[in-house]
Structure 1
């Protein structure tokens, strides 16, 4: 599955290369996600508040490809294809034992962003905003208690998670011109709207909604930037 995702990213870059013209830039993106999950709603306010106060951020990679289509000097449209790791980390003490739970979830994610650029010819600032859609491809969870440790992969045939994640992305960044190319530094916040859990009809009544929250920091090298 991950090899298919990589082929898809290279295919998009290939299309961009063959379609290259004035106003189109493209290149790779790589960085780190600082991800967690939050509960919202539901009938049990104590359970929701306890989880949200205990859950912590967990670091994971993001890597992919970017194509930017300039509309004018200020506005451009930027679709991307990313492999993005999300999840969360829980650490607490239970009866004198140190307990740690980490969930890692790899998504194939497609942000569709509007990009507003400003600044000088050599150094520019920008903001990005737009929707994203992601598909949960795989991952796993690990559990530690004192000196014992276990890990298992997620089996979607046994656990019926919602594998589609839809949300919004908001970010700021800087671009440094390097001849005809540009090096971009992006800082983003992704706000998931989908419930990670999935219930049969009528089973999820009164249950809280579990959604992804991700801070991302990444570098993108865009070829052919003007």
Structure 2
């Protein structure tokens, strides 16, 4: 992962230092909006997952790199997670997992026309907290007990850092306000085992659709 971070930092530095005919100065702003998050289940269990809604909020810097290109790093608080259900060895496990990340997308933008752009780049998510409401139902012949844990701290079961790629596009309504849509695709597993406290091998990768509004100072 360190090599990836260094490669992205080197590429951004090189492009910015070699940019010519910058159309404007470096800009700073704030942004926020809606998250629709889910996970991809990696193992072959009878498992399903449904999406959760959340928000994102943070800061961005837009660095022009010529008339058509820009580099935009961001620092966002991002609410993610998923609802999961798994049938495993006579147990039905249901979990409403809520994850909070410090998200760092590093996007390169290309302006198709003056106000419309497409963008893509890597991102890194740093886990801030992970909690869940967990229900475990035993289906043995002589045991139909149910275990319920609300607000269970799951941080120890999730990776502290995950990374992936994101891509999307946006539109500048005016010099101050812009809107954008993105899709985030996790490339590294987000947890050591989504239900590690009940069994050992289920792994997931994050997925996120994001709608945002930005304000440039």
Fold shared, TM-score > 0.5 on shorter chain:
yes
Q: What are the residue-to-residue correspondences of 1:41-120 with 2, within 5 Å?
A: 42=43, 45=44, 47=45, 50-51=46-47, 54-90=48-84, 101-120=95-114
User: With structure 1 as the length reference, what TM-score do the two structures score?
Assistant: 0.69
2:121 counterpart of 1:134: no
SS at match of 1:119: coil
The runs of 5 or more residues in structure 1 that have no matched partner are: 1-20, 94-98, 200-205
Say if 1:160 and 1:65 are closer, same or farther in 2 by CA, change over 3 A. same
In structure 1, C-alpha distance between the alignment counterparts of 2:109 and 2:56, rounded to whole Å: 20
In structure 2, C-alpha distance between the alignment counterparts of 1:60 and 1:149, rounded to whole Å: 24
Contact 2:170 2:181 in 1 (8 A): yes
User: With structure 2 as the length reference, what TM-score do the two structures score?
Assistant: 0.71
2:37 counterpart of 1:35: yes
Instruction: Give the deviation of 1:153 after TM superposition.
Output: 4.2
Structural RMSD (CA): 2.9
2:122 counterpart of 1:125: no
Deviations 1:192-217 (A, max 9, x none): 01112238xxxxxx945410000001
* Structure 2 match to 1:3: none
Instruction: Give the deviation of 1:65 after TM superposition.
Output: 0.3
In structure 2, C-alpha distance between the alignment counterparts of 1:182 and 1:78, rounded to whole Å: 15
In structure 1, C-alpha distance between the alignment counterparts of 2:50 and 2:119, rounded to whole Å: 26
In structure 2, C-alpha distance between the alignment counterparts of 1:36 and 1:59, rounded to whole Å: 9
* Structure 2 match to 1:164: 161
Deviations 1:87-119 (A, max 9, x none): 1013699xxxxx963111000111110011132
SS at match of 2:173: strand
Structure 1 outlier segments of 4+, above 6 Å: none
Deviations 1:47-100 (A, max 9, x none): 1xx32xx2111001100001000011210000000011111013699xxxxx96
The runs of 5 or more residues in structure 2 that have no matched partner are: 1-22, 88-92, 137-146, 194-199
SS at match of 1:23: coil
Instruction: Give the deviation of 1:155 after TM superposition.
Output: 5.0
Contact 2:132 2:154 in 1 (8 A): no
* Structure 2 match to 1:196: 190
In structure 1, C-alpha distance between the alignment counterparts of 2:94 and 2:154, rounded to whole Å: 21
